[in-house]
Amino acid sequence: MSNPLHVAFDLGSFSIKGAVGRVNQDQELEILSIQTIKTESIECGTIVDKERLRKDLEYLIDRLEKEAKINIKDVMVSMSGETIKSINSLSRTSINDSTDSKIDEEIKSKLLSQCADIQVSTGRHILHKISQGFVIDDSPLVRNPLGMRGKIVEARAHVIHVQEFNLAQIDACFTGDLAIDINPVFDGLASSYGNLSEDDKKLGVVFVDIGSDKTNVVIYKDKYLIHSKVIPIGSNLVTKDLATRFDTSIQHAEEIKRKHVSALSKLADVESNFELPIENDDLKRKFNKKEVSEIAESRFKEIINKVNEEIQASGVNILKFGSGIKITGGGANVKNLDLLVKEQLGTKCEYLQLKKTVFKENLEDKREYATLIGLLLWPVSHVEDDSPLIGIKKSFTENFSNIWKGFFE
């Protein structure tokens, strides 16, 4: 019997991507269909044109259903942008018993829920509460406390939450307009879980997913998620700067960035030139690769500096991450960005290849699909979250029925 199919949508600012896939018997992600459409309906995770988004989704859904020969009922949906926040939290309880008591699932779940509840304000929806381990009495950090005995139990968790109103708009578009149930997932978390190895997380790794107008930083140490952040700048910063400095279109600036820029400008050939057509003219304009690379490098350095701030905020020395820095995302489709990061931060850095996927084309270097692949793998990626998908979906639906009710009372 074949494994169940999963459907995912990555709602980006530059494009919306949808895919259908399943994990086969060889534990590879077998992708039946991938569809993409350019869009201006979303900016940094927030819907700015709901009608445009609905039409874009209708188009993608129709294409996916026809190619994969399915009827889409529920999907994994990326959540991103500045409204995503995270915090490390802890909660402690005393087991009132004359003798040491055994820790069960109820105690574990209650503690993790308290980690979230005491930190997240009203108007926010908890997406994930991910265990960072437990301390029982004076024990070292314990990964799974079930069945152990103690009098005082402390839970530590990484809590990720999102603005309820922002999430409600996406729910209204899928559930209300398209009659499709959603499972919302922080895109940085999905991408990192789906594409990093267990060794990476155990040795320590800084996962950097660069998009059009935001950059996700997700940091692991000793297999625990210790820090996550959405930085509200991405590679579009480079595109706009190139368009402004050379008085060219956004489209041509994007082409320059992807095809001709070296993020580490000293590796660009000062004598190498290229031409692009001038809009509304038969003539072409000449550009120098060294010059455009120098402009792009200064902007990429801004992103790298922000990433370094998040590494420092994690409290772990950058040299303690055994797997270094792994970069991915559509905004990372630039030559020598890994070398620029390495030079700026003094640690090893490499592009993350998308492995163990089966598709009609090779996806290893298609970094723009990192989140989509992570979302397809999410139901089987064994995230250390005490809330299974069904629980997330249930609480999400209940919360929003109350939100919308409140709007109209």
pLDDT beneath 70: ranges in the chain:
1-2, 96-100, 119, 280-281, 382-409
| CATH classification number, 85-162, choose in 3.40.718.10, 3.30.2350.10, 3.30.1490.110, 3.40.50.740 | 3.30.1490.110
The contacts of residue 108 (CB under 8 Å, 6+ apart) are: 134, 145, 146, 155, 386
pLDDT at 386: 43
Opening angle at CA 394, ends 126 and 111, nearest 5: 50
C-alpha span between 133 and 156 (Å, rounded): 6
pLDDT at 19: 97
Domain residue limits, the chain: 85-162, 197-351
What's the pLDDT tens digit per position in 48-77?
Answer: 999 999 999 999 999 999 999 999 999 999
| pTM, 2 dp | 0.90
3-state helix, strand, coil in the chain (%, to 5): 40, 30, 30
CA distances from 321 to 158, 173, 230, 310 (A): 19, 40, 20, 14
pLDDT at 165: 86
What's the pLDDT tens digit per position in 348-400?
Answer: 999 999 988 999 899 999 999 999 999 999 988 755 454 433 334 444 444 44
What's the pLDDT tens digit per position in 295-333?
Answer: 999 999 999 999 999 999 999 999 999 999 999 999 999
| Nearest in space to 258 (alpha carbons), one of 368, 369, 371, 374 | 368
pLDDT at 185: 95
Contact 86, 228 (CB under 8 A): yes
Phi and psi at 407, nearest 5°, equal -65, -30
The contacts of residue 377 (CB under 8 Å, 6+ apart) are: 23, 29, 190, 193, 194
The two tokens of residue 375 are: 């979302």
pLDDT at 298: 96
CA distances from 180 to 31, 124, 234 (A): 20, 23, 30
Contact 210, 86 (CB under 8 A): no
* Domain 197-351: assigned CATH number: 3.30.420.40
